[in-house]
Amino acid sequence: MTKTILCLGDSLTKGYGSTETKFTYPSHLKEVLKSFGSYNIINAGVIGDTSIGALNRIDGLLRTYQPYLVITCIGTNDMLLNTNPAVTKSNIISICNKVSQFGARNLLLGVPNWFNGVPITVAVDHPMYAEIGQQLGIYVQTGGLALYESDSMWRFDNVHLNNFGYMGWSYYVGQAMNYGGLL
């Protein structure tokens, strides 16, 4: 039986900076997961999206795709737009709660700390992601995106990954699914 995974996010999920769709993390994740079963992976990344935008989209996406798992990677644009971190955190909690109420499982991907001008060369996720995971009892993959964004070899620009960065990141996401018991 094929299981549907919904990848919710912004331009990092959409794959901005990759030269082909096959190099986005959702597309490559399908290859990473082949040995674990059959997966239909939906890329619901929107360039420029924020946590409130993702929150406004999640109900329709859940109804349309009926996923068993939602992988959420959102917050970068909130940080770049200097949105109050408490608002971003609240929106992400609401997204994860909607996913759980729908009956799907959550995997939250940590995003590097862009608030207060913290340089991206520091491979550290914003602490709110781990806090959300603890509060909601959901698995959070931390450090993967920050690791790739901290080295210019893996980046297209100061925010987005290149083909190799997205491919490498997809392995971290696959590992998180395995470690989190989400496969």
Q: What letter represents residue 134's amino acid?
A: Q
For helices 163-179 and 25-32, give the axis angle rounded to 10 degrees: 50
Domain covering 3-179 in this structure, CATH number:
3.40.50.1110
Dihedral angle, C-alpha 43, 146, 154, 30, nearest 10 °? -30
Six-digit token string for 138 = 């959901």
98 backbone dihedrals φ, ψ, rounded to 5°: -60, -40
Per-residue pLDDT of the chain (183 residues; tens, 9 = 90+): 899 999 999 988 998 877 777 788 899 899 899 989 999 999 999 999 999 999 999 999 999 999 999 999 999 899 889 999 999 999 999 999 999 999 999 999 988 876 655 555 556 778 899 999 999 999 998 876 666 666 776 777 777 788 888 888 888 899 889 988 998
Neighbour count for residue 35 (Cβ, 10 Å): 8
Could you tell me the residue ranges of all domains in the chain?
3-179
Q: Which residues contact 151 (CB under 8 A, 6 or more apart)?
A: none
pTM for this structure? 0.91
